[in-house]
C-alpha cells in the first residue's frame, strides 16, 4: 500500500506493487478538521490507479542509521527489524522487496498507517485551525489477505470498522475485542468474529473487483506545540471502483472509527505518543507512586488548592498500625493536628462491621484490619502506603445506632472531607467489592501490565534531519483500541446521594473505579487512558460546581456575603438559571468588601439538581445526606436553613418543580413538608424560578410564618431530619380557581399537563410520544409521567409571582421619558434616571395583563393545604382594572404543610 500525504487526490492501490518505493514523503497534508463524508465524485477506476502506481517517488534515500536497537517482534510484521528499517529508510531493489514480502517482513496493506503516524509528531508549518492528515488508499482485497495473514491492525479494521462486532460500552472498558485475548495473544487462533469479517469482505470483493476506499486518518487531540497524540480518527471519505449503493451497504454501521493509541513510558515511541495504557493494578508500586506524585504536586505547587497546613483531626479517627494489619478507634484532641485520609464509598448492603454502642469498646481497644469489608481494608492499606497514620470512615467513626451521635457528627462531615489530606473514593457498588485488585487483565497473560482490550502494532519515526538530537530512526510499540469514553458519572459511587457532598467538598480525590482518576481544584488526571471528560455531561457539571464552590469559598475568606430577602418585589438579586456558567446578576451599590450570594445560590441549585438524580437507600436520609453541603453553604452565606431551603430565597425556591413529571414519587412515610423539595424523590427542576432582574417581575405573595420541627435538638441539627409537628408555612397571596371554560379540576389538569409536556388521558387521540420525547431529561434522570394524572378535588393556584404588562411597555415609557427630557428648550422638564424608572414601574403596574407563576395547592383533611405541583406562564387579563389590583383582591392566607 502507498500513502502520499502531499497529495490531495491520492488514489493509489492498496496493494504495494514491486515498482513502488516505500519512501517516506517529505511533507504531510494539512487541512482544516471537518466531519468526514463519503465523496461520491471520488470514483477512481483501476486504470487510473495503475497509472498512479507507476509514478516513482524521487525523494533521495536516507542512509540506514547505524547501531540500531532491536525492537520486539510483532504479529504479522517483521521478524528482522533491521531489514524493516531498510525498507523504511532507503530504496530497495525489486528482488529485495519481493523477498521481504514473501517472508512477511511488513504488512503491505496497513504499513502506511504505522509509518505515517509520525507525521503528527513532526514539525509542521501549520496555519491556524489546520491539522495534518494521512491519506490511506485501502484496497479491500488487500485488507482481506492481510487479515488472513493475521495482521493485527488489519484484522481489527475488518472486524471493528466494517462489521462492528460487539457493543461499544461507554463508561467502562470494552473488554471483548473479538480479535485476540490481548496484545500478547496469538492471532493464529481465528475468532468467530474474524471468520465472519473475512467471509463477508471476500464476498463483497467478489461482487466488486478492485474495490477500495479512500481513507483519511486525523488526530483528535492534536496540539502542534506538543506534537503528540492519544486518539486518531479513521474515516472513509471516498470510494474507489464501488457504486454508491454498494458503499452504503458496506458502510452501513459507520463511516468512521476513533482509536485510542498509547505506549508505555519506557518505549521508544513514548516521546511521540501522548497516551499511556491504563494501569490494571492499582496496588502496584507504579500506581501508588503516581498517587503520591499527584498529592505532593498539589500540596506544594497548586496555588488554587488548600495549603498543606495540618488541620485538627475529626472527633474520632482510625489509627493504623505501621504494618496496616491492626486498627483502633481513636478519640482525638483539637491540639493534635495531623494529616489523614477520608473514605467515600457505597455501602451497598448492611455493613458487616460497624461501630455501635455494643462494639464501641472493641473498636477502641483495637482490632484486625482483616475484620473489615474489603473496600475498607483496601482504604486502610492504601492510606498506610501513602505514608499516613489516620483514616476517617463514617461507618466506624460514627456510632451507627446512636441517633444523637449521628445527628451531632453528620453536619460535621463537610469539615472532615474539606480538611482531609486526600479523599479515597472507592467507585464500586458495594463495601465488599474492594478496589485494589487487578482489573481488565488477560487471564491467559497475567502480569502483562496492559488491559486486555489493547492490541499492538509497530510505530515508526525516522531520523529528523532538522533535529540534532535525532540520530537514528525509532521503531516502538503502539497499543490501540476502539475509543471507549470513560464516564465518571457512570461509576456506581457517582450515583449515590451521600457521596455527592463528599466529592464536592474534598480538595483532593483519588477515585478508584474503572481506572484511577485524580481530582483536585487545579487538575484532573488519570493513571493511563485518554483524559477527555468533555463527553460526560454530569461529570462536567460536577466538576464545574466543585471549582465554582472553590472560587466562592476563596472569595468569602476576605469578604462578607450579603443575604437579601426575596419576600418583596424590591429584591434586585437572584439567579435567573441553575446554569452556573451564566453571568450572575449583581447587587448594585454594595460595599467594596461585600459580595452578594447569587453565585453561591446558583451552585446550590445545581448541586440539588444533581443530588436529586442520585439513589438513596434509606428514605429518611434525604436531608442528612446533604447536610454537610448545607452546612458549608450556611457558613458561606449566613442564611437560615429551612428543610432544604434558604429563608431569604423561600418565595423563589417554592418554584421548584418535578418537570416534566406531574406524578410525585414520595417515600412511604412522611419525611418533609410538601413545600420542601425533600418531600419527593423526583428529579428537581429549578428553571421556573423568577428572574428578578426583569423589570416586569413582581412578587405578589408574602411569608407570614415559617418554621421546621427538628428531630434532634442542637445548633448543627438544623441541617438534618425534621418532624411533621412544627413544620409550617403560612403565606398570604392570590388564590385562583380555574372555573368555567374547560371546567374545574379537569381544566386545571389539562392546563398542567400542557405546562409539563405530559400526555393527555387515555382515549384522547393525540400522539403524545412525538410531542413529549424532546422534553424528557437527557442525563439519566427519573422520568415517567402518569397519563391519567388529575389535579385533586379543590386544587387551586397560589400565585407567588406576576410578570406584569406586555412586551414593549417599558420601551414605550422610555420613549415618553425621552421626549420629556430637556434638550434646547427650557419649558421641558428634566427627567432623572430615578424618575424614568418610576415611570416605567407605574406604567407596568397599571397594566391589565400579567403572566403568573406559583404553586398548585390541594386541601388536606384538616383544612390546610399541601403543594401538589408548580405552575408557570398562566396568562391573566383583567377587564377594567390593573392585574395587580385584581391579584391583591384575590389574596388569602393559606397554611401549607
Looking at the predicted structure, is the pLDDT value of residue 714 above 90?
no
Residues 177 and 483: their CA atoms lie apart, in Å, by: 12
**Do 126 and 186 share a structural domain?**
yes
What is the average pLDDT score of the chain? 76
CA distances from 271 to 225, 265, 287 (A): 13, 8, 21
**Do 394 and 254 share a structural domain?**
no
Residue 473 placed within a domain: no
**Do 289 and 258 share a structural domain?**
no
Pair 599, 589: CB distance under 8 Å: no
**Do 510 and 623 share a structural domain?**
no
Where among 262, 293, 321 does a domain terminate? 262
Q: Report the predicted TM-score, pTM, of the whole model to 2 decimal places.
A: 0.76
Pair 800, 855: CB distance under 8 Å: yes
Residues 610 and 548: their CA atoms lie apart, in Å, by: 15
pLDDT at position 31, please?
38
Q: Cα-Cα-Cα-Cα dihedral of 122, 125, 126, 131, to 10°? A: -30
pLDDT at position 329, please?
95
Task: Answer with the residue of higher pLDDT: 810 or 631.
Answer: 631
**Do 240 and 208 share a structural domain?**
yes
Mean pLDDT computed over 251-273: 87
pLDDT at position 849, please?
93
Looking at the predicted structure, is the pLDDT value of residue 13 above 60?
no
Q: How confident is the model at residue 704 (pLDDT cuts 50, 70, 90)?
A: very high
Give the neighbor-by-neighbor strand order of the sheet with 390-392: 367-368, 326-331, 316-320, 390-392, 340-344, 422-426, 508-512, 516-520, 524-526
C-alpha cell, 384: 498506610
**Do 226 and 309 share a structural domain?**
no
| Of 451-465, 604-618, 798-812, minimum mean pLDDT range | 451-465
CA distances from 507 to 132, 197, 304, 419, 488 (A): 39, 50, 10, 8, 17
| Of 497-511, 605-619, 775-789, 828-842, minimum mean pLDDT range | 775-789
Peptide bond before 660: cis, by omega within 30 degrees of 0?
A: yes
Pair 882, 842: CB distance under 8 Å: no
DSSP 123: -
Q: Cell 388529575 maps to which residue?
A: 790
Q: Cell 509497530 maps to which residue?
A: 458
Q: What is the DSSP string of 251-301?
A: TSS-SEEEEEEE--TTSGGGGTB------S-TTSHHHHHHHHHHHHHHHHH
**Do 250 and 108 share a structural domain?**
yes
Q: Cell 424590591 maps to which residue?
A: 570
Within 8 A by CB and 6+ apart from 811, the residues are none
Residues 138 and 148: their CA atoms lie apart, in Å, by: 16
Residue 95 placed within a domain: yes
Residue range(s) defining the domain that contains residue 358 = 285-444+486-543
Angle between helices 192-207 and 140-148 (to 10 degrees): 150
Residue 226 placed within a domain: yes
Facing residues of 219 across strands? 232
Looking at the predicted structure, is the pLDDT value of residue 760 above 80?
no
Looking at the predicted structure, is the pLDDT value of residue 125 above 90?
no
Residue 554 placed within a domain: no
Q: How confident is the model at residue 424 (pLDDT cuts 50, 70, 90)?
A: very high
Looking at the 3D structure of the chain, how many domains does it have?
3
**Do 201 and 101 share a structural domain?**
yes
Residue 13 placed within a domain: no
CA 566 to chain centre: 33
Residues 610 and 319: their CA atoms lie apart, in Å, by: 34
Task: Answer with the residue of higher pLDDT: 828 or 33.
Answer: 828
Where among 214, 231, 262 does a domain terminate? 262
Q: Cell 470514483 maps to which residue?
A: 43
Q: What is the DSSP string of 823-875?
A: SS-TTSPP--HHHHHHHHHHHHHT-SEEEEEEEEEEE-TTS-EEEEEEEEEEE
| Of 49-63, 499-513, 745-759, 833-847, minimum mean pLDDT range | 49-63
Residue 471 placed within a domain: no
**Do 314 and 239 share a structural domain?**
no
Cα angle for residues 453, 458, 461 (degrees, 5° grid): 130
Structural element, H or E, at residue 408? helix 403-409
Sign of the CA dihedral with 301 first, then 303, 309, and 312 last: negative
**Do 133 and 189 share a structural domain?**
yes
Residue 418 placed within a domain: yes
pLDDT at position 813, please?
63
Residue 584 placed within a domain: no
Looking at the predicted structure, is the pLDDT value of residue 139 above 70?
yes
**Do 238 and 294 share a structural domain?**
no
Looking at the predicted structure, is the pLDDT value of residue 670 above 90?
yes
Mean pLDDT computed over 321-343: 90
Looking at the predicted structure, is the pLDDT value of residue 69 above 80?
no
Residues 108 and 143: their CA atoms lie apart, in Å, by: 9
Residues 146 and 150: their CA atoms lie apart, in Å, by: 6
Longest dimension (CA), the chain: 105
Pair 461, 474: CB distance under 8 Å: yes
Residues 85 and 103: their CA atoms lie apart, in Å, by: 15
Residues 688 and 707: their CA atoms lie apart, in Å, by: 24
CA distances from 833 to 400, 809, 821, 840 (A): 62, 17, 11, 11
pLDDT at position 820, please?
57
Q: What is the DSSP string of 563-612?
A: ----SSTT-----S-S-TTSPPP--SS--TTEEESHHHHHHHHHHHHHHH
Mean pLDDT computed over 159-169: 65
Mean pLDDT computed over 838-852: 90
Residues 109 and 111: their CA atoms lie apart, in Å, by: 6
Residues 234 and 154: their CA atoms lie apart, in Å, by: 13
* Residue 753 φ/ψ, nearest 5 degrees: -65, -35
What percent of the chain is predicted at pLDDT more than 70?
72
**Do 163 and 296 share a structural domain?**
no
Amino acid at each position: 500500500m502507498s500513502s502520499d500525504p502531499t497529495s490531495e487526490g491520492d488514489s493509489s492501490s492498496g496493494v504495494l506493487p514491486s515498482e513502488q518505493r516505500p519512501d517516506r514523503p517529505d511533507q504531510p497534508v494539512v487541512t482544516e478538521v471537518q466531519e468526514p463524508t463519503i465523496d461520491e465524485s471520488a470514483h477512481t477506476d483501476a486504470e487510473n490507479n495503475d497509472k498512479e502506481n507507476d509514478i516513482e517517488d524521487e525523494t533521495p534515500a536516507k542512509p540506514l542509521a547505524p547501531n540500531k536497537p532491536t525492537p520486539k517482534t510483532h504479529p504479522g510484521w517483521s521478524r528482522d527489524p533491521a531489514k524493516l528499517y531498510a525498507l523504511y529508510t532507503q530504496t530497495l531493489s525489486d528482488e529485495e522487496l519481493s523477498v521481504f514480502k514473501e517472508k512477511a517482513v511488513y504488512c503491505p496493506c496497513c504499513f502506511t498507517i504505522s509509518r505515517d503516524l509520525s507525521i503528527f509528531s513532526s514539525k509542521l508549518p501549520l496555519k491556524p485551525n489546520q491539522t495534518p492528515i494521512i491519506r490511506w488508499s485501502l484496497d479491500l482485497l488487500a485488507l482481506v489477505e492481510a487479515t488472513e495473514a493475521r495482521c493485527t491492525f488489519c484484522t481489527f479494521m475488518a472486524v471493528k470498522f466494517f462489521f462492528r462486532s460487539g457493543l461499544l460500552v461507554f463508561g467502562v472498558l470494552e473488554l471483548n475485542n473479538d480479535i485476540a485475548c490481548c496484545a500478547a495473544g496469538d492471532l493464529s487462533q481465528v475468532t468467530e468474529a474474524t471468520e465472519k469479517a473475512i467471509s463477508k469482505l471476500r464476498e463483497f470483493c467478489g461482487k466488486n473487483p478492485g474495490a477500495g476506499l479512500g481513507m483519511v486518518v486525523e488526530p483528535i487531540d492534536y496540539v502542534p506545540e506538543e506534537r503528540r497524540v492519544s486518539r486518531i480518527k479513521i474515516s472513509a471519505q471516498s470510494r474507489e471502483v464501488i457504486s454508491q449503493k454498494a458503499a452504503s451497504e458496506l458502510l452501513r454501521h459507520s463511516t468512521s472509527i476513533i482509536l485510542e493509541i498509547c505506549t508505555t513510558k519506557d518505549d521508544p515511541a513514548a516521546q511521540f505518543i501522548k497516551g499511556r495504557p491504563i494501569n490494571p493494578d492499582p496496588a502496584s508500586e507504579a500506581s501508588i507512586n503516581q498517587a503520591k506524585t499527584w498529592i505532593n504536586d498539589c500540596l506544594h505547587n497548586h496555588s488554587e488548592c488548600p495549603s498543606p497546613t495540618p488541620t485538627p483531626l475529626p472527633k474520632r479517627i482510625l489509627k493504623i498500625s505501621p504494618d496496616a494489619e491492626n486498627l483502633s478507634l481513636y478519640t482525638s484532641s483539637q491540639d493534635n493536628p495531623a494529616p489523614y485520609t477520608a473514605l467515600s464509598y457505597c455501602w451497598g448492603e448492611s455493613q458487616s462491621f460497624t461501630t455501635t454502642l455494643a462494639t464501641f469498646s472493641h473498636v477502641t481497644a483495637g482490632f484486625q484490619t482483616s475484620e473489615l469489608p474489603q473496600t475498607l481494608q483496601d482504604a486502610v492499606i492504601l492510606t498506610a502506603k501513602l505514608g499516613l497514620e489516620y483514616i476517617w470512615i463514617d461507618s466506624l467513626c460514627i456510632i451507627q445506632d446512636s441517633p444523637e451521635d449521628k445527628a451531632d457528627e453528620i453536619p460535621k462531615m463537610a469539615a472532615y472531607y474539606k480538611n482531609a489530606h486526600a479523599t479515597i473514593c472507592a467507585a464500586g457498588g458495594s463495601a465488599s467489592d474492594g478496589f485494589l485488585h487487578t482489573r481488565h487483565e488477560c487471564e491467559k497473560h497475567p502480569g502483562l501490565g496492559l488491559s486486555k482490550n489493547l492490541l499492538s502494532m509497530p510505530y515508526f519515526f525516522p531520523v529528523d534531519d532538522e533535529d540534532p538530537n535525532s540520530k537514528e530512526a525509532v521503531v516502538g510499540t503502539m497499543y490501540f483500541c476502539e475509543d471507549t469514553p470513560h464516564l465518571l458519572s457512570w461509576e456506581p459511587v457517582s450515583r449515590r446521594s451521600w457521596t455527592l457532598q463528599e466529592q464536592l467538598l474534598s480538595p483532593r480525590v483519588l477515585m478508584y473505579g474503572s481506572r484511577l482518576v485524580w481530582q483536585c481544584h487545579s487538575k484532573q488526571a488519570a493513571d493511563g487512558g485518554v483524559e477527555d471528560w468533555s463527553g460526560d455531561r454530569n461529570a462536567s457539571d460536577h466538576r464545574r460546581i466543585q471549582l465554582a464552590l472553590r472560587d466562592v469559598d476563596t472569595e468569602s475568606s476576605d469578604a462578607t456575603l450579603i443575604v437579601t430577602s426575596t419576600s418583596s418585589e424590591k429584591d434586585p438579586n437572584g439567579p435567573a438559571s441553575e446554569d452556573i456558567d451564566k453571568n450572575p446578576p449583581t447587587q448594585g451599590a454594595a460595599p467594596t468588601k461585600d459580595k452578594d450570594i447569587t453565585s453561591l445560590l446558583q451552585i446550590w441549585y445545581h448541586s440539588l439538581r444533581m443530588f436529586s438524580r442520585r439513589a438513596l437507600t434509606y428514605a429518611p436520609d434525604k436531608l442528612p445526606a446533604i447536610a454537610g453541603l448545607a452546612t458549608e453553604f450556611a457558613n458561606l452565606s449566613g442564611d437560615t436553613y429551612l428543610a432544604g431551603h434558604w429563608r431569604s430565597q423561600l418565595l423563589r425556591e417554592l418554584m421548584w418543580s418535578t418537570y416534566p413529571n406531574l406524578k410525585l414519587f414520595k417515600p412511604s412515610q412522611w419525611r418533609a413538608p410538601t413545600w420542601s423539595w425533600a418531600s419527593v424523590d423526583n428529579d428537581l427542576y429549578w428553571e421556573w424560578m423568577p428572574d428578578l432582574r426583569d423589570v416586569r417581575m413582581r412578587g405578589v405573595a408574602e411569608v407570614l410564618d415559617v418554621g421546621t420541627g427538628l428531630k434532634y435538638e442542637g445548633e448543627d441539627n438544623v441541617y438534618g431530619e425534621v418532624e411533621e409537628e412544627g413544620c409550617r408555612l403560612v403565606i398570604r397571596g392570590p388564590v385562583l380557581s380555574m372555573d368555567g371554560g374547560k371546567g374545574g379540576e379537569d381544566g386545571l389538569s389539562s392546563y398542567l399537563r400542557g405546562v409539563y409536556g405530559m400526555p393527555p388521558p387515555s382515549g384522547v387521540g393525540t400522539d403524545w410520544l412525538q410531542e413529549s420525547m424532546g422534553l424528557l431529561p437527557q442525563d439519566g434522570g427519573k422520568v415517567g409521567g402518569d397519563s391519567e394524572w388529575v389535579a385533586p378535588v379543590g386544587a387551586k393556584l397560589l400565585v407567588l409571582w406576576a410578570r406584569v404588562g406586555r412586551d414593549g411597555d417599558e420601551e414605550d415609557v422610555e420613549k415618553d421619558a425621552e421626549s420629556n427630557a430637556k434638550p434646547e428648550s427650557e419649558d421641558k422638564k428634566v427627567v432623572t434616571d430615578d424618575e424614568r424608572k418610576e415611570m416605567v414601574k407605574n406604567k407596568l403596574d397599571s397594566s391589565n395583563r400579567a403572566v403568573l407563576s406559583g404553586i398548585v395547592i390541594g386541601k388536606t383533611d384538616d383544612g390546610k393545604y399541601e403543594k401538589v405541583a408548580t405552575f408557570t406562564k398562566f396568562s391573566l387579563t383583567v377587564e377594567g382594572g390593573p392585574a395587580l389590583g385584581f391579584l391583591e383582591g384575590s389574596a388569602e392566607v393559606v397554611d401549607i404543610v
